[in-house]
Chain A
C-alpha cells in the first residue's frame, strides 16, 4: 500500500545512507519494535503500524565489519479509496505486511571508512532492490569528519493494467487484483495487473565538526531523484464526477539541507540539541522543520531525553483541495489525493528513557560489555491547511482526508535494546 511504500523508500535510503556511519568498533546487536497508532475517521478504526527491527554487526578481523539487518511493517487500519470532498465515506479497511533484509560490509582504516550495502524488500504490491556505498574520513586533528553516501534502488509497483487508456479513463488497482512475483521481480498479468518501475538515486554529503570541547555541529546536504511510477495505485480522485486513478508526474528531484548542533552542559551532566532543515523539490513542495531536545543523565545509568519538533510544508504545484478537482477542469493536468502533497503543519513532543548497563569486569547478562534499554514515546499533532481559496470552497477541507481532526493525531511507542559485546 501507499502508506508502506513511501516509508519503504525512506527505509531503503536510510539503510543505504546509514552505511555512511562509522563501522562498528565492536560487535553489536540491536532489536526494537515501534508501534504507531493514528486516529482515523470513517468508522473503520484507526491506523496501526507495528515495526520490528533487528540488526547485527560483527567484526571480521581488525579492519572489516559485516552487518545484517531485518525489519518489517505490519500495517492495518482504514484508508480512503477516493480523494473527494467526502473521502470519509469511501474509507475501507486494509492490511499489509512488508519485510526487508539488508547486508553490508565495512572497511575501516585509521582515519577513514568505506562501506557497501545491499537490501531487498517485498510486500504484496511493491518490491525494492537497493545498493549503496559510503565513505567517511577524519580530517587533520580529528575534529572534522566528511562523509559521502550514494545509493540506487530499483523498485517496482504493482498497478492495474489500464493499457493505452488516458489518465482520466484509468482505473485504480483493487486489493483483490493479483500482483504476481517471480523470484525477486514482479510478474505481469497482462490485462489485469502490470509492474511499473521506479528508479531512485540518492546522495548525501555530511560534514561533522567539533567546535569546542562541549560543542559540535553537523551539516548535511541531501539530494534525490525519483524516476518512474510514484502514484498510489489504489487511490482515485474524483475529477469532475469521474473516479480516475491518481495521476502525478514520473520524475521528482528533491534536495534538503540540515544543520544540527549539540552542546554539552558539564555542570548539569546534560546536553542541549538543536536541529533545522530546509527542503525543496521540483513538484514545488517546500518544507522545513525545527527540532529542540534536551538530554539529562539521572545518576549513572539513566538517561532522559525530551524533545519537540515543528514542521510545515507547502502543497505540490498540482495539488488541489478536493472541491476544486470536482468542480474545475483538469485537462492536461495532474491530480492527486496524497496528503503528503497537501499543505500541512504538524508538531511532535516526546521523551525517551534509556537504561545503561556497563559490564566492567563482569559482563552484563554474561554477554554484553554495554547494554542499553530504550523506551520512547511521542505524541503527534496535525493541522491540515487549505491549498486553495476557502471562500469559494463550499465543501470545506474537513472531510477530504480521513485522518481524525482531534488535537492528538497519533502516538508512537518504541521499545528497544542495544548491546555491544
Chain B
C-alpha cells in the first residue's frame, strides 16, 4: 500500500511539475483537449448509473473522480 501511495504522490508531483503552468499547453493548442471524448465523466447520467451498479455489486464503492478536463476551462 505504501508503494502505491508513493507512486501516486510521485505521479501527482511529476504531473504538476511538467504540466502545470502557463506554457504547458497554449490556448491555441487545445482543440483536441476540448473534444468531448477528452472530458472525464462527460455523461453524468452514465456515470451515475455506473456508480449505482458498482455499489450494488462491490464493497469498494466511491471515488471515481469528478467531471472535468477537456480544454481545461473551468
Interface residues of A (CB under 8 A from B): 3, 6-7, 9-11, 13-15, 17-18, 20-22, 30, 32, 34, 36, 49, 51, 53, 55, 71, 73, 111-113, 136-145, 147, 149, 202, 204, 206-214, 216-222, 224, 254-260, 262, 264, 266, 270-271, 277-281, 283, 285-289, 295, 297, 303, 305, 311, 313, 316, 338-341, 344, 346, 352, 374, 376, 380, 382, 412, 414, 416, 418
Contact = CB atoms under 8 A, between A and B. Distances in A.
B58 A340 contact: yes
A372 to B, nearest CB: 8
Interface string B39-66: 0110111111101111111111111111
A32 B68 contact: no
Contacts of A262: 37-38, 40, 69
In the A-B complex, the 8 residue pairs with the smallest Cβ-Cβ separation, listed nearest first, are A222-B63, A287-B60, A256-B63, A279-B60, A10-B55, A21-B67, A141-B22, A220-B65
Given A140-B21, A264-B32, A416 B46 contact: yes
Interface of B: 1, 4-5, 8, 11-12, 15-16, 18-25, 27, 29-33, 35-38, 40-41, 43-49, 51-74
A309 to B, nearest CB: 9
B69 A144 contact: no
12 contacts: A7-B55, A7-B56, A30-B44, A141-B22, A142-B73, A145-B74, A208-B68, A214-B32, A216-B38, A297-B37, A340-B58, A416-B43
Given A216-B70, A218-B40, A10 B60 contact: no
Given A142-B72, A262-B69, A285-B60, A414 B46 contact: yes
B43 A271 contact: no
B48 A14 contact: yes
A53 B44 CA distance: 10
A421 B66 CA distance: 24
Contacts of A316: 59
A231 B31 CA distance: 49
Contacts, number: 258
State the main secondary structure of chain A at its contact with B: strand
Most chain B beta carbons < 10 A, residue from A11, A111, A149: A11
Contacts of A346: 57-58
A374 B43 contact: yes
Which interface residue of A216, A340, A341 has the most chain B CB atoms within 10 A?
A216
Contacts of B71: 142
A34 B48 CA distance: 10
Contacts of A113: 74
Contacts of A18: 44, 47-48, 66-67
Indicate the member of B41, B57, B59 with the most A CB atoms within 10 Å.
B59
Contacts of A279: 60, 62-63
B72 A51 contact: no
Contacts of A138: 72-74
Contacts of A71: 48
B62 A256 contact: yes
A186 B37 CA distance: 44
B66 A220 contact: yes
A295 B40 CA distance: 13
A22 B43 CA distance: 13
A346 B20 CA distance: 36
Given A141-B25, A339-B57, 12 more contacts: A7-B56, A14-B52, A112-B74, A140-B20, A145-B68, A210-B25, A255-B63, A256-B63, A279-B62, A313-B59, A340-B59, A346-B58
B67 A20 contact: yes
